[in-house]
Amino acid sequence: MALTQPVRHARAGLIWLAIIHVLLGGLLAAGVFTNQTTWAPKLALDLEGGTQMILAPRVQGDSQISQEQLDQAVEIIRQRVDGTGVSEAEITTQSGRNVVVSMPGTPDAKTRELIQASANMEFRPVITGAPWTATAAADRTADADIPAPTAEPANASDTNWITKALYKKFEAYDCPTELASAERPENDPAKPAITCDPGTQYKYIVGPVEVPGTDISDASFGMANNSQGISTGQWAVNLEFNSEGADKFRQVTERLVSATGFQNQFAILLDGVVLSAPTANAVIADGRAQITGSFTEESARALSEQLKYGALPISFEIQSEQQISATLGQDQLKMGLIAGIIGLALVAIYSLFQYRALGFVTILSLIIAGVLTYLAIAILGWVQNYRLSLAGVAGIIVAIGLTADSFIVYFERVRDELRSGRPLTAAVEVGWDRARRTILASKAVNLLAAVVLYIVAVGNVRGFAFTLGLTAIADLIVVFLFTHPMLQLLARTKFFGEGHPLSGMDPRLLGVEPFYQGAGKFRSPATAGAASADSQDDDAANGSQRSLRDVRKAERNGERLTIAERRRLQDNSSVTTGDDKGQGADNA
């Protein structure tokens, strides 16, 4: 027997839902079996505990840190921490001087370095270079052979910046020793400096600063393209300068592009250490530069994050570090889970009371939405290092009612169609067409609110907004791929299709009596108008008599009658005969 179109759509929806769950479950299982993640989602600072670091600003002399500088530092440190993939971190100020960074778990060395990295990002031209270890004493240039400056430097790349004293220091400069030192001298931005490049293991004499790091407006990474726009298959870092920085960088590249050797390079320094020292291959006139080389995806991402968030107004050092407990958070999580279970139980009780057996569809839909949300959070914790906070748990609990609301809207639309006299199969389709628009509008509002809240909020509030938006998406998937398909299939079963009193779709319990009652019988005008005014009863009766007269007329004319019409005539004849006999008995 051929399947009807609604049944085919219902089965296809259920199959797609199963595929989504299998794919997500398989992806998470692959991560667990390869020891890259666990079945449980990662927890945030307030639930798991973590590390608290107090950062003290590095200042020279008796200079004071302004509140504006401190606020800017907090924002940039927050961007840096978020850029590393650590979520639910808390960055605040303390006593108007220190910055407190609290993050889940134990931060690795790279995260520590990124947090306390200096604000002093600079673009300096390279004047000369050499391997980064100190030149052996026997191989160093004699004083008489060291060239002395012959004139005032004409530009930042001019070799006249190199004095005899600077060159001697350069030859004796040992980068491994200097980088291991806790204290590093601050370089004068208006004078040349010696710096090290850990990536290439070279040391450079660089000229004065030509473009400060604050002139960078954005940085990103991606695959490099050639002049025809075709991908080269190599990773690259993209830089974008503001208007002032674009003009400065244009002048730098105009000079460097015609230079040779080390003088064709410009060094990007962060805290006096070279992040990258690319060569200038063309004049960059629009303020959009691309750095290419032997990047991997990880190294390109790391460099882009350092460039994007590197312009701190002040530098910091870790003054103290301690592990913090999540005992209070665990207690709150326990209470939150209890509240969620109570809320879910109340929704289940209401659904069963209001919709009888149909309430089980609501309960199953909530369970499937919960499984989908759990898998998504666990996978995001593995892939994006997302961490579930107490605020996120609150968002999930709130979503229970919002998710159940979608099912209630749908079921009530179907009931409205049943009250209008449609059979259940038709009521499901028509009710879905009407409920779908309402559900989509409702979820669009939920998603919009979640996105806006996520953008404008900071800290734990973003966790609430994220789970609120995630559960809204899960709700849409479940209501489209499970709730509606299940109702399509259940409407064709005997239990629901015939309106069993426990099905929740019994027309009689909804105040409706079907128009056609079987065996050629239709509901009588009095029954049809039981809930109407007297004038409506009369109109319905007149309409029924006229219809019966038309049937009698058709019979006299020899027209072919339907089975239902012939039975109506027979029932009317038997009723008329019974009435005549009753009147005769009365007369007797």
300-316 pLDDT, tens digit per residue, is 888 887 777 665 556 67
Q: How many CB atoms lie within 10 A of CB 392?
A: 28
Strands (E) across 193-344 are located at 193-197, 202-206, 211-212, 216-225, 231-241, 266-270, 273-276, 288-292, 315-324
Interacting residues of 75 by C-beta distance below 8 A, sequence separation 6+: none
Strands (E) across 447-537 are located at 516-518, 521-522
Tell me how many helices (H) and strands (E) the chain has.
Answer: 18, 15
Read off the amino acid at residue 196: C
Read off the pLDDT of residues 22-39 as tens digits, 9 standing for 90 and up.
Answer: 999 999 999 999 988 899
Token readout for 276 is: 């990258």
- For 147, list phi and psi in degrees, rounded to 5: -70, 140
The confidence score (pLDDT) of residue 553 equals 66
- Choice between 59 and 473, residue whose per-residue pLDDT is larger: 473
Token readout for 15 is: 């199959």
Read off the pLDDT of residues 445-477 as tens digits, 9 standing for 90 and up.
Answer: 999 999 999 888 766 788 899 999 999 999 999
- Does the pLDDT of residue 431 top 60, yes or no? yes
- Please measure the distance between the N-terminal and C-terminal CA atoms of the chain and give it in whole angstroms: 62
The secondary structure of the chain in percent helix, strand, coil, rounded to multiples of 5, reads 55, 15, 30
Mean of the per-residue pLDDT values for the chain? Answer: 81
- Range scoring the smallest mean pLDDT among 268-277, 322-331, 526-535: 526-535
- For 458, list phi and psi in degrees, rounded to 5: -135, 165
- Does the pLDDT of residue 326 top 80, yes or no? no
The confidence score (pLDDT) of residue 120 equals 67
Q: How far apart are CA 110 and CA 537, in angstroms?
A: 83
The confidence score (pLDDT) of residue 329 equals 65
Interacting residues of 559 by C-beta distance below 8 A, sequence separation 6+: none
Over residues 172-194, the mean pLDDT reads 82
**Three-state SS at 425:** helix
Largest Cα–Cα separation, the chain: 154
- Range scoring the smallest mean pLDDT among 329-343, 395-409, 413-427, 545-559: 545-559
- Does the pLDDT of residue 44 top 70, yes or no? yes
What CATH number was assigned to the domain covering residues 51-114+319-324?
3.30.70.3220
Each domain of the chain, given as residue ranges in start order, spans 8-41+327-497, 51-114+319-324, 121-311, 516-578
Token readout for 202 is: 């070279």
Q: How far apart are CA 401 and CA 396, in angstroms?
A: 10
User: Which H or E element spans position 98?
Assistant: strand 98-104
- Does the pLDDT of residue 131 top 90, yes or no? yes
The confidence score (pLDDT) of residue 24 equals 95
Q: For the domain 8-41+327-497, what is the CATH superfamily, name and number?
A: Multidrug efflux transporter AcrB transmembrane domain (1.20.1640.10)
Token readout for 77 is: 């440190």
- Does the pLDDT of residue 580 top 70, yes or no? no
Banded model confidence at residue 437, pLDDT cuts 50, 70, 90: very high
The confidence score (pLDDT) of residue 273 equals 85
Read off the amino acid at residue 583: Q
For residue 480, the 8-state DSSP code is I
What would you report as the CA-atom Rg of the chain, rounded to the nearest whole angstrom? 39
- Does the pLDDT of residue 61 top 70, yes or no? no
Over residues 67-84, the mean pLDDT reads 72
> 309: closest CA among 53, 58, 84?
84
Q: How far apart are CA 568 and CA 579, in angstroms?
A: 17
The rounded percent of the chain whose pLDDT value lies above 70 is 79
Over residues 42-68, the mean pLDDT reads 74
Read off the pLDDT of residues 95-121 as tens digits, 9 standing for 90 and up.
Answer: 677 888 888 777 777 777 777 765 568
Read off the pLDDT of residues 333-380 as tens digits, 9 standing for 90 and up.
Answer: 788 788 888 988 999 999 899 888 989 999 999 999 999 999 999 999
Read off the pLDDT of residues 491-519 as tens digits, 9 standing for 90 and up.
Answer: 999 898 888 888 888 777 776 655 555 55
Over residues 471-490, the mean pLDDT reads 94
The confidence score (pLDDT) of residue 384 equals 79
Sequence length of the chain is 588
Read off the amino acid at residue 528: A
HSE (side-chain half, CA atoms, 13 Å) at 564: 9
The confidence score (pLDDT) of residue 372 equals 95
Model's pTM, two decimal places? 0.56
Token readout for 266 is: 């410009």
Strands (E) across 115-215 are located at 121-131, 193-197, 202-206, 211-212
